[in-house]
Amino acid sequence: MPRSAEQSALLREKRRTKILQKALMLFANLSFDDLTIDDIAKACNCSHGLFYHYFKSKEAVYNALMEERHNKHPEWECPTEKILAVGGYKGLELTFQYINERLHDSEAAALLLDLDLHRPFTTLRKSEPLLGEDFYTLIYKLVKKGRDDGDIIFGDPEDIATLVVDAAIGATTRRICTRDPSFKTADIQLMLSLAHR
C-alpha cells in the first residue's frame, strides 16, 4: 500500500531530524573542518544521494542546526546586542553567565554552544557563510572596551580573548564528555579574575 502524502512528509521530517541530530554530535566531536558528508551519511546509515536530498552541503547542515536553535530554542541564543551594549567587564560577565547557563541546559544546548565556540577557528573555505555566534570576536570586543575603560588587565586583547575562549571550550568539552548537566563549572568570578584588573 503506497504511503499517503502526510506519511511521506512525516518520514521526510524524521529523516531530516535524524541527519541533524547525528551531525550535531559529529560537529562537536570532529570539528567543522574535519567532518565530511561521508561521516554524516555513515552515521545516519543513508546514501550520499539521500543526504543531498535534504542538504546541499555540510554548511547547509550546520546552518540548519543554527536555524533550528533560533526557531525552537531562542533562549539558547547569545544575547549579543545586550552584551555589547553593556560592554567591557560587565559584558564579559554576562557572556560567562550565558555560557554557564547553556552548559547546565540540555546536551543539545551544550553541543550548539560548542559549535559557536569553535566557529571562528574553522579554516576551510566555506561554500556559504556559517550562522551562529562568533564568540572570539565578541570577547575580543569586550576585552578591548574593558581595557579602554580600565576594567580589564593590560595585555593584548587577542591573547586575553584566546585565553577566555579556550577556558570556555574546555568547560564545554568536559560537559559534553560527562553528559551530566549538574557538573561543576568554574566560578564565574574566578573566570573573570583572569581578565580583571
Residue 9 has a pLDDT of 84
- pLDDT at position 195 is 64
Contact 171, 177 (CB under 8 A): no
Whether residue 116 contacts residue 79, with contact meaning beta carbons closer than 8 Å, is answered with no
Nearest by Cα to 98 from 139, 61, 158 = 139
Backbone phi and psi for residue 152, each to the nearest 5 degrees, phi listed first: -120, 145
Inter-CA distances, 61 with 4, 44, 65, 130, 192, Å: 27, 13, 6, 10, 34
pLDDT reported for residue 1: 65
Per-run averaged pLDDT (10 residues), the chain, 197 residues? 80 92 90 91 92 93 92 91 90 90 88 84 74 86 86 81 86 85 73 66
Inter-CA distances, 45 with 49, 50, 51, 85, 147, Å? 12, 10, 10, 46, 51
What is the pLDDT at residue 29? 85
pLDDT of residue 194: 63
Q: For position 63, what pLDDT does the model report?
A: 92
Contact 70, 130 (CB under 8 A): no
By CB atoms closer than 10 A (0-12, 13-18, 19+), residue 63 is: middle
